[in-house]
């Protein structure tokens, strides 16, 4: 889930990364933010130290620089992390990564699709489904698949706020609603 604050920071970083003279590709920036967020989440002591006001900001920056070297962090990402730590916002890094991915997808003409299927699809089915969604949206699809056996069959795709329901469960629900709306009260039958 992308928080409003995380999205604001993501927009700021995206603006710098997408600038013509940027030293880092969008993909690399996103990967570096994700890697640093994972490192912080995997080390609770580090997380606490980066949030703790008692720890001097220059020491926090030194820790980021020391961690950033083996991680290969670009200067842009490292400076961004300095700002995040300076504002004690380390906890929003996963949200920043999600927001950054969303911004880059939009910038490069991708539509993010959360696709639920009743079972795992074979490669031909995946290709066919993604082609159909690309035709509908007019954009390249960046899919995330999940399996939900309760769908019984078919698939449900969520792209932005639009839901495309091609599941058997959705079909039965639509059929049920149609039958209920056409039902005649028992008093009228007698």
pLDDT at 5: 94
Cβ(128)–Cβ(162) below 8 Å: no
**C-alpha dist (Å) from residue 160 to 113, 131, 142, 157:** 8, 17, 12, 10
pLDDT at 172: 78
Task: Give CA–CA dist 28/34, Å, rounded.
Answer: 10
Task: Give CA–CA dist 185/147, Å, rounded.
Answer: 40
pLDDT at 171: 79
pLDDT at 122: 93
SS3 146: strand
Predicted confidence (pLDDT) at residue 54 exceeds the cutoff of 80: yes
- Residues 75-134: tens digit of each pLDDT: 999 999 999 999 999 999 999 999 999 999 999 999 989 999 989 999 999 999 999 999
| DSSP for residue 122 | P
Cβ(153)–Cβ(129) below 8 Å: no
Cβ(41)–Cβ(47) below 8 Å: yes
Residue 159 Ramachandran class (φ > 0 left, ψ -120 to 50 alpha, else beta): beta
The band of 182, judged by pLDDT with boundaries at 50, 70 and 90, is low
- Residue-wise burial string across 95-121, b where 16 or more C-beta atoms lie within 10 A, e elsewhere: bbbbbbbbbbbeeeebbbbebbbbeeb
SS3 43: coil
Tokens of 68: 């950033």
Arithmetic mean of pLDDT, 169-185: 73
Q: What is the mean pLDDT of the chain?
A: 89
Task: Give CA–CA dist 139/113, Å, rounded.
Answer: 11
pLDDT at 72: 94
């Amino acid at each position: 889930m992308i928080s409003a604050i995380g999205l604001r920071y993501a927009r700021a970083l995206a603006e710098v990364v997408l600038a013509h003279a940027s030293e880092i590709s969008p993909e690399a920036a996103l990967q570096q933010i994700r890697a640093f967020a994972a490192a912080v989440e995997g080390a609770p002591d580090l997380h606490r130290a980066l949030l703790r006001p008692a720890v001097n900001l220059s020491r926090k920056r030194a820790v980021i620089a020391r961690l950033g070297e083996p991680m290969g962090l670009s200067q842009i990402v490292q400076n961004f992390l300095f700002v995040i730590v300076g504002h004690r916002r380390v906890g929003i890094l996963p949200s920043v990564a999600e927001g950054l991915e969303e911004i880059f997808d939009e910038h490069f003409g991708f539509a993010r699709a959360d696709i639920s299927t009743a079972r795992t699809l074979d490669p031909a089915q995946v290709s066919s489904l993604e082609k159909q969604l690309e035709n509908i949206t007019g954009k390249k699809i960046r899919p995330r698949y999940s399996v939900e056996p309760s769908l019984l069959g078919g698939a449900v795709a969520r792209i932005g706020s639009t839901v495309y329901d091609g599941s058997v469960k959705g079909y039965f629900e639509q059929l049920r609603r149609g039958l209920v709306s056409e039902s005649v009260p028992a008093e009228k039958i007698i």
